[in-house]
């Protein structure tokens, strides 16, 4: 036995990712007395600036955007009761195909070994029992999400730690429901072209391939408020348009794939800490 608290570490790419994908578990496990550690890899400088000015447009200042988003991230952490925030502060690489992908110092251009070594130091310090990040495709192909997966898996190899490791995902049934709700809010939304539709179909997993279903419905209000804390990016956060009730209906269950485990806990499971307490 040890006096060290059980610890969850979530490794995310940008400010606001913590709320979208894992806000429910971060709030739930914090409420259960588990130490929650958030590692945010980039500064979010490719996000919208004040007034909605877009990256690449006149007046967009990545340094000012990063500063603003840091404050929003801290506010989100307060809402979710996150114990510890660590920022690696790599430059945001932007969406796939943006010129910022190739910028020196961007997260996408950072050698995996460098980022992994920094993350491994944090892992040795916090000694997480559970680590959560994205899958190998970054859930939807974002360069910084892919890089977050790469440095997380490499960092684990650099340590002697044996946490349960999970990748975020979404069941196809929820993706289908999400598409229906999108059309409710945007009646004039055109049908996606075949290539886009095929790419969307690859996101998430069939329901029966998901190992871990965590009910965070009781914390969906906190999750919504954490997203709302990222006010500068509100135009890009469709979920906020739903209102709390609809949001809770769609986003109350968080789902994961367990990829590393030394507990032999049975799957499917409803608790990331199954086998650890």
The 3 state secondary structure assigned to the chain is CCCCCCEEEEEECCCCHHHHHHHHHHHHHHHCCCEEEEEEEECCCCCCCHHHCCCCCCCCCHHHHHHHHHHHHHHHHHHHCCCEEEEEEEECCCCCCCHHHHCCCEHHHCCHHHHHHHHHHHHHHHCCCEEEECCCCHHHHCHHHHHHHHHHHHHHHHCCCCCEEEEEECEHHHHHHHHHHHHHHCCCCCCCCHHHHHHHHCCCECHHHCCEEEECHHHHHHHHHHHHCCHHHHHHCHHHHHCHHHHHHHHCEEEEEEEECCCCCCCCECCCCCCCC
State the residue for tokens 């195909």. Answer: 97
Query: Which pLDDT value is given to residue 245?
Result: 85
pTM across the whole model: 0.91
- Of 56-70, 114-128, 164-178, 235-249, the one with minimum mean pLDDT is 235-249
Determine the distance from the C-alpha atom of residue 157 to the mean position of all C-alpha atoms in its chain, rounded to a whole number.
21
Q: How confident is the model at residue 197 (pLDDT cuts 50, 70, 90)?
A: low
Query: Which pLDDT value is given to residue 56?
Result: 87
Tell how strand 130-133 and strand 35-42 pair up. unpaired
Residues, the chain: 277
Do 90 and 115 form a contact (C-beta atoms < 8 A)?
Answer: yes
What homologous superfamily is domain 7-260 in, according to CATH? LmbE-like (3.40.50.10320)
Question: What average pLDDT does the segment 8-23 reach?
Answer: 96
pLDDT at 2 over 60: no
| Domain regions of the chain by residue span | 7-260
pLDDT at 1 over 60: no
Do 20 and 12 form a contact (C-beta atoms < 8 A)?
Answer: no
Question: What average pLDDT does the segment 218-235 reach?
Answer: 92
Q: How confident is the model at residue 140 (pLDDT cuts 50, 70, 90)?
A: confident
Do 159 and 124 form a contact (C-beta atoms < 8 A)?
Answer: yes
pLDDT at 189 over 60: no
Which carries the bigger pLDDT value, residue 171 or residue 216?
A: 216
- Of 43-57, 140-154, 171-185, the one with minimum mean pLDDT is 171-185
Which carries the bigger pLDDT value, residue 180 or residue 46?
A: 46
């Amino acid at each position: 036995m040890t006096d060290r608290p059980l610890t969850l570490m979530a490794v995310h790419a940008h400010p606001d990712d913590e709320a979208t994908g894992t806000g429910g578990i971060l709030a739930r496990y914090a409420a259960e007395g588990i130490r929650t550690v958030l590692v945010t890899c980039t500064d979010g400088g490719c996000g919208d600036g004040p007034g909605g000015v877009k990256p690449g447009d006149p007046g967009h200042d990545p340094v000012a955007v990063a500063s603003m988003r840091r404050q929003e991230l801290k506010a989100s952490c307060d809402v979710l009761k996150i114990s510890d925030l660590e920022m690696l502060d790599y430059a945001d690489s932007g969406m796939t195909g943006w010129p910022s992908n190739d910028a020196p110092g961007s997260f996408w251009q950072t050698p995996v070994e460098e980022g992994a070594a920094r993350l491994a130091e944090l892992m040795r310090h916090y000694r997480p029992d559970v680590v959560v990040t994205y899958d190998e495709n970054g859930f939807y192909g974002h360069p910084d999400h892919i890089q977050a997966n790469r440095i997380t898996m490499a960092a684990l190899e650099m340590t002697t730690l044996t946490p349960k490791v999970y990748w975020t995902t979404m069941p196809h049934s929820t993706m289908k429901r999400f598409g229906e709700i999108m059309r409710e809010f945007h009646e004039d939304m055109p049908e996606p072209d075949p290539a886009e539709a095929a790419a969307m179909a690859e996101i998430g997993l069939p329901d029966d391939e998901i190992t871990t279903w965590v009910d965070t419905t009781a914390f969906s209000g906190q999750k919504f408020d954490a997203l709302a804390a990222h006010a500068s990016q509100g135009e890009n956060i469709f979920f906020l348009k739903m209102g709390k009730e609809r949001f809770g209906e769609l986003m109350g269950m968080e789902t994961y794939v367990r990829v590393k485990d030394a507990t032999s806990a049975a799957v499917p499971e409803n608790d990331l800490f199954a086998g650890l307490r």
